Structure 1
């Protein structure tokens, strides 16, 4: 008699997978006013956004301040502070009768809405705020249980060489902020904020009266010159069109957008803390990034002052790339559409840098760039300022740009491109990124040194090398790294990836021999001895004795080998993986207080935890350490805080969980590869390499349902989830072949649904 572990018909099982993990169950709750607003880094306030406009709700009940950030409003100046993403402005909402009121707010993930309630013994005011998912407008809904007066002050941020204007057009109040194209400002930036009230008339002195139980809407529309050439007129006209019917239509579209977003994928793991941060992180990144909009910088659109840390720029040695990593496997591709454009826009500059600075073809990128070909990381323009900030008057290092001893920044950007390519096998996308990859290959063909039968990487440094006040401006003695693990991993990733894309597009066949030669003869990852065992070294050799010693697997090495590198793993490099697993096992010995595992308080929470999953470290210990890290430094808005960065931490929980439930980065699908089989879990529509959407359930240690949707009809290779059992395939509802063995391989057709059932 056949025994089946496929308990329910697949589509019924899949529809029930998320019963215990509904997004509606999770909210961010605030019982006191935020303390870190305004800030140059991560705000701790209630947040909402539409992937372009970000809303940060600051202030106390009697004097709220809503800060409006926008991903495309930059002061296009090449030095920070001063340059980088800028704050358009905000709205002050003052209600004197709420002096001393209680504070309660919910950041409602399911709806993309902030719902707040402020109370005294005499009055209760409800305030809902949301950034329309399909419109450039913020909507604030206000009601009270008794009549009261509300003062509204719309403002544009002053200073930093900006020009302000303000006015009225009928019942629309507007303000604007502009950065003109002046010395060193690459392009002008203009933003208009246009406000209209609906349901109550705004008096000339900016007061409106709330009537008991009657809702009033305050709308603020933001338009930049990146949105529309007639940016001010467009903002005013859009604001004037607001009425109760228009707002309701916008809200319906808004709620539908979020409904569709959450349908992208689901997980259920029986851990409410991690599920809350899983969905909370995805909410915050959906608020930060959207197709057709400028890519988010380090802080996303949640900018509450000018001169955000590091200019809020696109930092290319991991900060820019990392926020996107979980979106590929989570099947939220809308959020990754904007990633490539800044890298493509900088190509002309990158070619010049490579030729002028290193005499090579291809691309050489500094550490930080911005949109539209902007460089954000020039050294201070005066020797005096250079001395003050970096301890030396030498502000002409590397032609005045911060390369910081690193040659790998352009290739670092390829990692995300390959994640998307392998996840979609989209030909149009492959054609879009191929010229960039080709230019990166040009650079490394020229830059690599072939010596004694191997390719060697000189002077590409594991860490940033630069003058600073601590080293009293002396830094050149730190130069000289040979074969950084970061560089070796990412260069190997590049040539492996470009071989795959070249074959896929049937391009440059004649160059593949050279690329394969590099792959075959690239120096091996450096190893040494640590505590009597084989361990990874940061570099093969370095002037720094600290760098030259075996230090084990660290955040930066993970970038090269595992994320985004993807060139090391249990299938492709089993011996190396054993060494890396031993290194991760020693993180616990190296930690201090709870929450410091992997040394992730400064940077790396988004890297170290999923990296530990991939090498196969104990899943229960990873989850315990992850929850300890969250407990040590996370804000009420569900943003895991880190000293050295912002939105990249939004990858940490989703990617860690996704990698535990499904892996495919070595070309083989693995179901629940690093999950405790004694704990039930399920997922719907996680995206796997090969352009597959996979749904599965684990119950009582067995995989009880498994469905695969093939977008592109590629062959599938999968570890048998039922080990030695035979596996029945059902294709589009009809029984098909039976497979057996530890490794299952089968063909698929485009848009085919394949269900798998273990039998013995």
Structure 2
């Protein structure tokens, strides 16, 4: 693309606090995809709460192995209204049995003799380096720390005249229940770590290397290892890691040697390669916005994403690599929720052009194919694939409200991750060998469940819509709910289109036949209904009935008056019902729905509400109105990440839409942004095109396309002129094109086209 210096995050984008951070969910977050660290404390104790993405207690709840744990039994009990038996067989053990669960790693603590009288901390978003400066008992201290982007090592550097008076202590998770009650235990998820039945960790040391070694009562063993190096009277350095027997036979000895060698080499030796990785990451895309809070949140969210999602590491579960440090199991056991959370967490990365980081999710799902086949066979008693909607890192069910935790259509929402990857990269091999395969095997499972109803149309035996009516008997809706039907229609429509591209004629005819047997979406004066005989009547957190608008885009605001009317009525009805029972992620999802109308003002308003009232000072999505502003009735603060990523996706959709093969720049930005300058660079569009654009003073200044793959790209003319100039690598041509119509740009692989008036 046109040569220019990449815009990197600056100090303005940093997290900056001028008082002690007293809670783990307000801490400075560091991460390298596998290991995470939260920096917080008051100087008397400066804590580094550690996590590792693959630390799991994977013991299965016995109830999931029972012969009655089947879809057929769930359907029978739901139809018979046997609520108590449904709860016993499929739900109650989720909260009663502590495992399976994500596990915290432990802590490093720097202990001084007094709390800080002054403290200032900063997280460099550009360099992924945290800095804390504090004054205690007249002595000043400085700590800098980072988790290396490409190794499993963390680095700490301490400076101060009396730095050797600070004690670094290793603190294992409190599996034995011997620690004092935590003052910051506010999550409302109160299953203690002691319920897991683990022994106390073993403490050990050898020279300047120390560790705690945590055994469990199942196969996992892990250790936090730290080595010290005194660089001078006023400087101390430490290197640490979280190692596990998942790393190989000689994992413990290998980790100790690695930490010791890194400590001897020192902090400054490791820093350049760490920073180089982050510089490369930030060069992938950029934006400049007149409302700085939006720009800062976009950079911060991409920082969080890269910190907890990397190729070769597990994808982010609910809390990424920052499992709750409260002495309890993490909220919702830190699991993989496939009825919204995993999907929203991987909404934005394609357009942000961070392919490798997002491939973690694709690789994870592909690697679970054997488990997905086994679960489809055992639970659904079908061929094909299906994963539990609430699952462990190895794809086993945790239980929970069965209408959602064991809904077969949530698997279709997982399919969209493969669809997006194919569409945004244009990688035909991926389409043929992965996306189509994943879709087709999912379809085989669904076809084993669908049957003709009284009207001859295909329907599921039972239906639901996350999380309408919570876990009551009312939650079993008349098939098909719009949620289920939207996903089923999406599945077979995309299969038909993929089969046509791949020239799979027999398959295409099969998928067309299924589509012809599907009913229409349920619609009335309120817009999209919940199910054929029920409309949404109360405010609700999960906009599951509106899936056809976003993210599935089965309805298109520009395509027809009928679609436009349904979308308008659905939005108006959401406005009428209000936000009383929303949670954090509801706000960016609503923003995305408004964007489909081209309503940038409403999108902006809902994103601001999300960031201002439902996120921690460090940016973490806390789900509830923890400030008690009256925005919603949810007052809790369980940290999860999907809301952050959904908000970044909505912001990107305000600036660029490429769905349907048409590139539309600035389709939904607020009016006052138009008066200033708005620019994005290297956002990824469909079929492997990178798009840059700038609007200044209400006029589109340029659009630039770079083709990773050769092809024809349709661009909507938003230049307020009937002629545009196309500069393809120095060759300029004029093109007649009516304003707001579409024109094609033919590019070979590696070519750049700059479009101006």
Structure 2 counterpart of 1:74, from 48, 56, 59: 56
Task: Give 1:88's aligned residue.
Answer: 105
Native 8 Å contact 1:27 1:106 kept in 2: yes
Deviation sequence 1:351-384 (CA, Å, 0-9, x none): 34434444432233322112233x14136xxxxx
Native 8 Å contact 1:708 1:754 kept in 2: yes
Structure 2 counterpart of 1:605, from 578, 587, 593: 587
Structure 1 Cα separation of the partners of residues 132 and 306 of structure 2: 21
Task: Give 1:635's aligned residue.
Answer: 616
Structure 1 counterpart of 2:223, from 187, 192, 197: 192
Task: Give 1:268's aligned residue.
Answer: 288
Task: Give 2:34's aligned residue.
Answer: 52
- Relative contact order: is structure 1 or structure 2 higher (C-alpha 8 Å, sep ≥ 6)? 1
Task: Give 2:202's aligned residue.
Answer: 165
Change (3 A) 1:478 1:740: closer
Please, which runs of 5 or more residues in structure 2 have no aligned partner?
62-93, 176-195, 625-637
Change (3 A) 1:151 1:120: closer
Change (3 A) 1:402 1:224: farther
1:153 aligns with 2:169: yes
Report SS of the residue matched to 2:273: helix
Task: Give 1:668's aligned residue.
Answer: 662
Structure 2 Cα separation of the partners of residues 245 and 153 of structure 1: 22
Mapping 1:310-389, distance limit 5 Å: 310-373=332-395, 375-378=396-399
Native 8 Å contact 2:422 2:430 kept in 1: yes
Shifted more, 606-615 versus 457-466: the winner is 457-466
Change (3 A) 1:74 1:154: same
Structure 1 Cα separation of the partners of residues 496 and 705 of structure 2: 27
Change (3 A) 1:719 1:158: same
CA RMSD of aligned residues (A): 2.8
Structure 2 Cα separation of the partners of residues 215 and 645 of structure 1: 35
Structure 2 Cα separation of the partners of residues 739 and 517 of structure 1: 42
Structure 1 Cα separation of the partners of residues 164 and 371 of structure 2: 57
Task: Give 1:440's aligned residue.
Answer: 442
Native 8 Å contact 1:313 1:376 kept in 2: no
Task: Give 2:714's aligned residue.
Answer: 717
Task: Give 2:756's aligned residue.
Answer: 757
Please, which runs of 5 or more residues in structure 1 have no aligned partner?
1-9, 38-42, 182-187, 201-209, 380-389, 391-400, 469-474, 542-546
Change (3 A) 1:87 1:357: closer
Structure 2 Cα separation of the partners of residues 698 and 477 of structure 1: 50
Mapping 1:576-725, distance limit 5 Å: 576-591=563-578, 600-617=582-599, 619-643=600-624, 646-675=640-669, 676=671, 677-725=674-722
Task: Give 1:526's aligned residue.
Answer: 522
Change (3 A) 1:76 1:126: same
Change (3 A) 1:404 1:289: closer
Structure 1 Cα separation of the partners of residues 507 and 136 of structure 2: 73
The Cα shift of 1:236 comes to 0.5
Mapping 1:505-516, distance limit 5 Å: 505-506=502-503, 508-516=504-512
The Cα shift of 1:637 comes to 0.8
Mapping 1:190-589, distance limit 5 Å: 190-199=221-230, 211=233, 214-243=234-263, 245-303=265-323, 304=325, 305=327, 307-373=329-395, 375-378=396-399, 404=405, 406-430=407-431, 431-450=433-452, 452=455, 454-464=457-467, 475-476=472-473, 478-506=475-503, 508-530=504-526, 535-541=527-533, 547-548=534-535, 555-557=542-544, 560-572=547-559, 574-589=561-576
Structure 1 Cα separation of the partners of residues 647 and 394 of structure 2: 31
Native 8 Å contact 2:419 2:435 kept in 1: no
Native 8 Å contact 2:384 2:443 kept in 1: yes
Native 8 Å contact 2:227 2:263 kept in 1: no
Task: Give 2:117's aligned residue.
Answer: 101
Structure 1 Cα separation of the partners of residues 130 and 374 of structure 2: 47
Report SS of the residue matched to 1:442: helix
Shifted more, 479-488 versus 565-574: the winner is 565-574
Native 8 Å contact 2:384 2:441 kept in 1: yes
Change (3 A) 1:554 1:235: closer
TM-score by length of 1: 0.83
Structure 2 Cα separation of the partners of residues 480 and 749 of structure 1: 51
Report SS of the residue matched to 1:415: helix
Native 8 Å contact 1:53 1:69 kept in 2: yes
Structure 2 Cα separation of the partners of residues 225 and 737 of structure 1: 64
Deviation sequence 1:392-434 (CA, Å, 0-9, x none): xxxxxxxxx7855622121110112211110002244332343
Report SS of the residue matched to 1:297: coil
Native 8 Å contact 1:553 1:583 kept in 2: no
Report SS of the residue matched to 1:241: helix
Deviation sequence 1:327-359 (CA, Å, 0-9, x none): 111111122111034433443444344344444
Task: Give 2:216's aligned residue.
Answer: 179
Change (3 A) 1:403 1:732: same
Native 8 Å contact 2:525 2:569 kept in 1: no
Task: Give 1:395's aligned residue.
Answer: none
The Cα shift of 1:67 comes to 1.0
Report SS of the residue matched to 2:146: strand
Native 8 Å contact 1:405 1:464 kept in 2: no
The Cα shift of 1:30 comes to 2.0
Structure 1 Cα separation of the partners of residues 355 and 662 of structure 2: 21
Structure 1 Cα separation of the partners of residues 538 and 598 of structure 2: 19
Change (3 A) 1:558 1:691: farther
Native 8 Å contact 1:559 1:565 kept in 2: no
Native 8 Å contact 1:324 1:335 kept in 2: no
Structure 1 Cα separation of the partners of residues 724 and 198 of structure 2: 66
Change (3 A) 1:435 1:161: farther
Native 8 Å contact 1:680 1:700 kept in 2: yes
Report SS of the residue matched to 1:564: coil
Structure 2 Cα separation of the partners of residues 402 and 538 of structure 1: 14
Report SS of the residue matched to 2:718: coil
Structure 2 Cα separation of the partners of residues 103 and 294 of structure 1: 35
TM-score by length of 2: 0.84
Deviation sequence 1:66-99 (CA, Å, 0-9, x none): 1110101111123453422101211111011x43
The Cα shift of 1:628 comes to 2.8
Structure 1 Cα separation of the partners of residues 239 and 332 of structure 2: 32
